[in-house]
């Protein structure tokens, strides 16, 4: 399949595109992989419908775009330990990662991307919102950009607001993280390694404070940035359907899984792709 044989349909003016005409359960040609990667770079997140992916095929899909990474906190599937179940049971009230974030920004080398595949969905709800961090950066004033450019920020896995969302899964399938770095300092303004564009690289779930400042000193500016980066005009909303796939670029987007389906089970399978030290 060549690049011209699939269709890219933007779902909002600023982030997200739906891809049609690609069967991800089949081997992909180099031309298709190249075209999908360009669509990802152009739109930040790409969506596919009605995909019949086994864990093996999801792994194979990820490997077209990079090396599949290990998630530090929760064990994966028995036969595919790098495939992580993103699960909320009917009796639970917290959903995994239920806060605006970029995946595992607390690692020294955060993932470049994430591939999520819908397995079991509630009858309604459970959508995911995405936000474009290029747009968030571009909309800042010149003075704010100048002030933020030299700053670095501490990102931690231990912020209570996000650690609470993973507790159910850690209780049932947690891993020993004693040898894992779960705090890292990264630039507040990051340069995307492939596009060269500037992106606002802080997030409400993981960013604790600016490097060299206290949490109290950092809080007012961080609060402004957290609110600014999820303004409606920077976002899109993805309504999941059986077999749907979302593949997002963690270097220039954030996402938020909406927790509006209490009393119903929701299960998706996730892989993340290794990234690089942000610069």
Residues linked to residue 249 through DSSP beta bridges, in sequence order: 113
Q: Of how many residues is the chain composed? A: 279
Distances (CA, A) of 113 to 100, 105, 134, 212: 16, 12, 16, 29
The question of whether 103 is a catalytic residue gets the answer yes
DSSP 243: T
Catalytic option among 37, 43, 101, 169: 101
* DSSP conformation class of 70: P
Q: How far from 22 is each of 2, 27, 34, 44, CA to CA, in Å?
A: 10, 10, 13, 18
Nearest residue to 130 (alpha-carbon basis) of 55, 40, 59: 40
Q: Which residue has 């044989």 as its token pair? A: 5
Rounded distance between C-alpha atoms, residue 159 and residue 65, angstroms: 30
The catalytic residue among 117, 190, 266, 270 is 270
Residues sharing a CB contact under 8 Å with residue 196, sequence separation 6 or more, in sequence order: none
Residue 265, both tokens: 């089970």
Question: Is residue 269 annotated as part of the catalytic site, yes or no?
Answer: no
| Active-site residue, selected from the candidate residues 37, 251, 255, 266 | 255
Candidate list 103, 117, 190, 266, residue with the active-site label: 103
> Which residues, at least 6 apart from 233, have a Cβ–Cβ distance to it below 8 Å?
14, 135
CB 235 within 8 A of CB 12: yes
Ramachandran sector of residue 66 (left: φ over 0; alpha: ψ -120 to 50; beta: rest): left
- The yes-or-no answer on residue 101 being catalytic is yes
The DSSP letter of residue 165 is G
The rounded distance, in Å, linking the Cα atoms of 10 and 232 is: 16
Point out the residues that are catalytic: 101, 103, 255, 270
């Amino acid at each position: 399949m060549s690049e011209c044989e699939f269709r890219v349909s933007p779902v909002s003016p600023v982030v997200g595109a739906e891809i049609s005409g690609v069967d991800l359960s089949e081997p992909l040609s180099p031309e298709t992989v190249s075209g999908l990667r360009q669509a990802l770079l152009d739109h930040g997140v790409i969506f596919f419908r009605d995909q019949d992916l086994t864990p093996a095929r999801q792994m194979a899909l990820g490997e077209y775009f990079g090396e599949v990474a290990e998630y530090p906190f929760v064990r994966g599937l028995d036969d595919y330990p790098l495939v992580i179940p993103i699960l909320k049971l009917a009796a639970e009230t917290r959903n995994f990662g239920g806060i605006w974030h970029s995946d595992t920004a607390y690692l020294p080398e955060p993932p470049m991307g994430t591939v999520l595949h819908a397995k079991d969905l509630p009858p309604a709800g459970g959508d995911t919102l995405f936000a474009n961090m290029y747009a968030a950066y571009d909309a800042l004033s010149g003075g704010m950009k100048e002030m933020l450019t030299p700053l670095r920020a501490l990102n931690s896995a231990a912020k209570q607001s996000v650690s609470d969302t993973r507790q159910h899964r850690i209780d049932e399938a947690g891993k020993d993280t004693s040898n894992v770095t779960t705090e890292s300092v990264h630039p507040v303004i990051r340069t995307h390694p492939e596009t060269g564009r500037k992106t606002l690289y802080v997030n409400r779930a993981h960013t604790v404070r600016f490097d060299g400042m206290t949490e109290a000193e950092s809080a007012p500016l961080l609060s402004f940035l957290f609110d600014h980066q999820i303004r409606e005009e920077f976002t899109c909303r993805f309504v999941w359907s059986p077999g749907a796939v979302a593949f997002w670029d963690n270097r220039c987007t954030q996402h938020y899984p909406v927790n509006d389906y209490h009393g119903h089970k929701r299960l998706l399978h996730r892989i993340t792709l290794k990234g690089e030290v942000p610069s």
